[in-house]
Amino acid sequence: MQFQHSAPIWRDFPALVPVALYAEGITADAPVGPAADRFAAVAKSRLAAVAAEGELPEIQAWRRAFAAMGLKPTQYRCASESLLRRFRKEGSLPRLHPLVDLCNAVSLAFAIPVAVLDLSAVTGPELQAAWSLTPQTAVLTAASPRFTPAADQGDGADRSDGADRSDGADPSDGADRSDGSGERRDPQ
């Protein structure tokens, strides 16, 4: 399995610093509770020092990136900001799966988006972050198995079968997909 960002993403965000980690053997009984709790405590401490999560420098950086994409940064929030908002309101996040729980806790502590994907559900040899097929939503989507640039937009997604490989969610629907399902986590 190969993971990469499309050429248009690199063109638009040359300072992007992505990190990918591949792990096997993560089971539903992995004991991550204490580690996730430590990261959640870091997040709670950081949130106590600011009036709103938008004051954190990491969130400000994501807001600038979203603004550079032409998005209203308080309407389209990065996944970590959405998680922080939920954490601030509810005091915790639901436990879903050990790997998801740990990644969500890391996302909270460091205010950075962390995605978890179940690669057994990905077809083809390549997973690529690319611009969405739907210009008005301007979100990133994974394209599999092959990336083909859109002739009319200069962006990309897999069009080998004519289908959009994004999760099809409307970012204005208020849906929160921070459940670790491997799907895009929409802003609220």
* Burial environment of residue 29 by CB neighbours within 10 A (0 to 12, 13 to 18, 19 or more): exposed
Domain residue ranges of the chain, discontinuous segments joined by +: 2-14+31-173
Predicted structure pTM score: 0.66
Contact 158, 123 (CB under 8 A): no
Residue 171 predicted with pLDDT over 70? no
**Residue 51 contacts by C-beta under 8 Å, 6 or more apart in sequence?**
none
Split at pLDDT 50, 70, 90, the class of 131 is confident
CB distance 130 to 68 below 8 Å: no
Taking the chain, what is the end-to-end CA distance rounded to the nearest angstrom?
Answer: 32
**pLDDT band at residue 138 under the 50/70/90 scheme:** very low
Q: Which of 86, 89, 105, 159 is nearest to 128 (CA)?
A: 159
- Please check the confidence at residue 86 and state whether its pLDDT lies above 70: yes
The pLDDT-based confidence of 173 (bands split at 50, 70, 90) is very low
Residue 36's pLDDT is what? 95
| pLDDT higher than 90, residue 59 | yes
Confidence of residue 124 (pLDDT cuts 50, 70, 90): confident
- Tokens read off for 15: 């300072």
Distances (CA, A) of 94 to 8, 48, 82, 97: 35, 21, 14, 9
pLDDT of residue 134: 64
Is residue 177 over pLDDT 70?
no
DSSP of 73-122: TTTS--HHHHHHHHHHHHSS-----HHHHHHHHHHHHHT-------GGG-
Question: Strand (E) positions, the chain?
Answer: 2-5, 126-131, 140-143, 148-149, 156-157
Cα(3)–Cα(128) distance, rounded to whole angstroms?
A: 6
Over residues 143-158, the pLDDT tens digits come to 433 333 333 333 333 2
Looking at residue 187, what is its pLDDT? 35
pLDDT band at 27 (very low <50, low <70, confident <90, very high): confident
What gap in Å lies between CA 71 and CA 172, rounded to an integer?
12
CA-nearest of 15, 19, 14, 26 to 4 is 19
Rounded Cα distance between 139 and 137, Å, is 6
Pairwise CA distance, residues 138 & 13, whole Å: 14
